[in-house]
Amino acid sequence: MTAAIAKRLTLTNAFWIGALIFSFVLAANARGWLPRWATKYPRKWNIPVKQTITDFMNWLVETATFGLFTFQELTRGIAWLLEWPLAFATSLLSSGFLQGQGSDAVQILPPLTWIAVLVVIVAIGKYARDWKLAAFVGACFGYLAVFGQWNSAMVTLSSIVITVPFGVAGGLLIGIGGYRWPWFERAVTPVLDLMQTVPVFAYLIPVLFLFGFGPVAAMIATIIYAMPPMVRITMLALKQVPGEISDFGHMAGCTKRQLMWKVLVPSATPGLMVGVNQVIMLSLNMVIIASMIGAGGLGYDVLTSLRRLNIGAGLEAGIAIVVLAIALDRLSQAFVHRPPPVHIDPSQNYLQRHPWFVTCIAVIVGTGLVGLVAAPVQSYPEALQITTASFWEDLVKAINVNFFDQLEAVKTAVLLNVLVPVKRFLLGLPWGWTILLVTLAAWQIGGWRIALLSVVLSGFIVVTGQWPKAMITVYLCGVSVMFAALIGIPLGIAAAQNARLGRVIQGFIDTLQTLPSFVYLIPVVMLFRVGDFSAMIAVILYALAPAVRYTAHGIGRIDPSLIEAGVVSGCTKRQLLWKVKLPLALPEIMLGINQTIMLALSMLVITALVGTRDLGQEVYIALTKADTGRGLVAGLSIAFIAIIADRMIAAGARKARARLGLPEH
Amino acid sequence: MSSLSRIKTALVGAVALAGLAAGGQALAAESKDPIKLTLHDWTGQLITTKLMGEVLKRGGYNIEYVQADYIAQFAGLKTGDLHVAMEIWETTGRDAMDEATKTGKVVNLGETGMQAIEEWWYPLYMKEKCPGLPDWKALNDCAEAFSTPETAPRGRYLGGPVTWGGFDDERAEALELDYEVVHAGTDAALFAELESAYQRKAPILLWVYAPHWAPAKFKGEWVDFPAYTAECYQDPKWGSNPDMAHDCGKPRGPIWKVSWAGLEKKWPGAHKAIKAFTVSNDEMANMIVEVDLNGKKLDDVVSAWIGQNEKRWRTWIGK
Of A375 and B194, the one with more pLDDT: B194
Question: Which of A83, A419, A526, A612 has the most B C-beta neighbours within 10 Å, making it the best mutation to test the interface with B?
Answer: A526
Nearest CB neighbour to A610, from listed B81, B95, B184: B184
Residue B35: closest CA among B10, B7, B60: B60
Q: Is-contact B102 B95, C-beta < 8 A?
A: no
Q: Which residues of A touch B10 (CB under 8 A)?
A: none
Instruction: Let me know if residue A367 belongs to a domain.
Output: no
Contact A522 B189 (CB under 8 A): yes
Domain end, chosen from A269, A295, A312, is at A312
Contact A609 B188 (CB under 8 A): yes
Same domain, A421 and A525: yes
Residue A115: closest CA among A383, A367, A372, A374: A367
Confidence at B256, pLDDT banded by 50, 70, 90: very high
Question: Which of B33, B157, B193 has the most A C-beta neighbours within 10 Å, making it the best mutation to test the interface with A?
Answer: B193
Instruction: Let me know if residue A538 belongs to a domain.
Output: yes
Nearest CA in chain B to A527: B196
Q: Which residues of B touch A309 (CB under 8 A)?
A: 188, 191-192, 195
Contact A408 B149 (CB under 8 A): yes
Question: Which of A213, A287, A618 has the most B C-beta neighbours within 10 Å, making it the best mutation to test the interface with B?
Answer: A213
- The amino acid sitting at A514 is T
Same domain, A285 and A433: no
Contact A521 B64 (CB under 8 A): no
B35 close to A (CB below 8 A): yes
B304 close to A (CB below 8 A): no
- The amino acid sitting at A106 is V
Element (H, E) at B155: strand B155-159
| CATH number (domain holding residue A192) | 1.10.3720.10
d(CA A283, CA A229): 12
Same domain, A412 and A308: no
Q: Which is it for strands B206-210 and B106-123: parallel, antiparallel or unpaired?
A: antiparallel
Q: Which residues of B touch A300 (CB under 8 A)?
A: 41, 67
Specify the DSSP class assigned to residue A380. -
Question: Could you give the number of structural domains in chain A?
Answer: 4
Same domain, A508 and A532: yes
Contact B185 A607 (CB under 8 A): yes
Same domain, A435 and A551: yes
Alpha helix ranges (H) inside A464-581 = 467-497, 499-514, 517-528, 532-556, 560-568, 573-575
Residue A296, by phi and psi: left (phi above 0), alpha (psi -120 to 50) or beta? left
Q: Is-contact A327 A121, C-beta < 8 A?
A: yes
Instruction: Let me know if residue A382 belongs to a domain.
Output: no
Q: Is-contact A249 A258, C-beta < 8 A?
A: yes
| Beta bridge mates, B135 | B224
* Main-chain dihedrals φ then ψ at residue A519, nearest 5 degrees: -65, -40
Nearest CB neighbour to B163, from listed A300, A303, A625: A625
In Å, how far is B76's CA from the nearest CA of chain A? 6
Could you read off the pLDDT of B61-93 as tens digits, one per residue?
A: 999 888 877 877 888 898 888 999 999 988 778
Residue A297, by phi and psi: left (phi above 0), alpha (psi -120 to 50) or beta? left
Nearest CA in chain B to A397: B199
Element (H, E) at A38: helix A36-39
In Å, how far is B238's CA from the nearest CA of chain A? 31
B186 close to A (CB below 8 A): yes
Same domain, A456 and A572: yes
pLDDT value of residue A3: 58
Same domain, A489 and A605: yes
| Beta bridge mates, A98 | A107
pLDDT value of residue B9: 42
Question: Which of A99, A216, A309, A310 has the most B C-beta neighbours within 10 Å, making it the best mutation to test the interface with B?
Answer: A309
* Main-chain dihedrals φ then ψ at residue B260, nearest 5 degrees: -65, 140
Contact B70 A527 (CB under 8 A): no
Confidence at B29, pLDDT banded by 50, 70, 90: low
Same domain, A614 and A490: yes
d(CA A466, CA A471): 9
Same domain, A608 and A649: yes
Question: Which of A98, A101, A104, A423 has the most B C-beta neighbours within 10 Å, making it the best mutation to test the interface with B?
Answer: A104
Q: Which residues of A touch B62 (CB under 8 A)?
A: 101-104
Residue A593: closest CA among A660, A555, A646: A646
In Å, how far is A569's CA from the nearest CA of chain B? 54
Mean pLDDT of B148-156: 80
Domain end, chosen from A312, A334, A349, is at A312
Nearest CB neighbour to B68, from listed A102, A213, A607: A213
For residue A664, how many other CB atoms are within 10 A of its CB?
Answer: 7
pLDDT value of residue A4: 56
Q: Which residues of B touch A530 (CB under 8 A)?
A: 158, 182-185, 189-190, 193
d(CA A78, CA A219): 12
Element (H, E) at A376: helix A375-378
Question: Which of B37, B195, B201, B213 has the most A C-beta neighbours within 10 Å, making it the best mutation to test the interface with A?
Answer: B195
Residue B256: closest CA among B273, B278, B272, B283: B278
Contact B75 A209 (CB under 8 A): yes
Whether the predicted pLDDT of B123 surpasses 90: yes
Instruction: Let me know if residue A146 belongs to a domain.
Output: no
Mean pLDDT, consecutive 10-residue stretches, chain A (665 aa), reads: 58 81 80 75 77 82 76 85 87 80 75 88 88 92 90 90 92 93 90 85 82 83 90 87 87 87 85 84 84 80 83 90 89 76 68 76 82 79 80 86 87 88 87 89 88 91 89 92 94 89 86 84 87 90 88 85 87 86 86 86 82 84 80 91 89 84 64
d(CA A147, CA B255): 37
Nearest CB neighbour to B185, from listed A101, A523, A610: A610
Nearest CA in chain B to A620: B163
- Per the structure, the complete domain to which residue A473 belongs is given by 403-660
Domain end, chosen from A283, A312, A341, is at A312
Nearest CB neighbour to A102, from listed B62, B186, B192: B62
Contact A522 B96 (CB under 8 A): no
Instruction: Let me know if residue A111 belongs to a domain.
Output: no
Nearest CA in chain B to A58: B75
pLDDT value of residue B24: 42
pLDDT value of residue B54: 92
Instruction: Let me know if residue A379 belongs to a domain.
Output: no
Nearest CB neighbour to B158, from listed A106, A522, A530: A530
pLDDT value of residue A139: 94
Q: Which residues of B touch A523 (CB under 8 A)?
A: 192
Instruction: Let me know if residue A351 belongs to a domain.
Output: no
pLDDT value of residue A332: 84
Specify the DSSP class assigned to residue A612. -
Confidence at B277, pLDDT banded by 50, 70, 90: very high
> Helix A615-624 to helix A628-660 angle, to the nearest 10 degrees?
150
The alpha carbon of residue A602 and the mean position of all alpha carbons in its chain are separated, in whole angstroms, by 8
pLDDT value of residue B22: 43
Confidence at B282, pLDDT banded by 50, 70, 90: confident
Same domain, A46 and A11: no
Same domain, A499 and A630: yes
How many inter-chain contacts (A to B, CB under 8 Å) are there?
Answer: 157
pLDDT value of residue B16: 44
Q: pTM of the predicted model, to two decimals?
A: 0.82
Domains parsed from chain B with CATH numbers: 29-115+253-316 (3.40.190.10), 116-234 (3.40.190.100)
Contact A102 B35 (CB under 8 A): yes
B95 close to A (CB below 8 A): yes
Element (H, E) at B256: strand B253-260
Instruction: Let me know if residue A607 belongs to a domain.
Output: yes
B147 close to A (CB below 8 A): no
Whether the predicted pLDDT of B5 surpasses 80: no
Residue A478: closest CA among A435, A421, A529, A432: A421
Contact A400 B196 (CB under 8 A): yes
Mean pLDDT of B262-285: 90
Same domain, A49 and A19: no
Q: Which of residues 65-94 of B touch A (CB under 8 A)?
A: 66-76, 79, 81-82
Q: State the greatest distance between any 2 C-alpha atoms of chain B, in Å, as a whole number.
A: 87
B149 close to A (CB below 8 A): yes
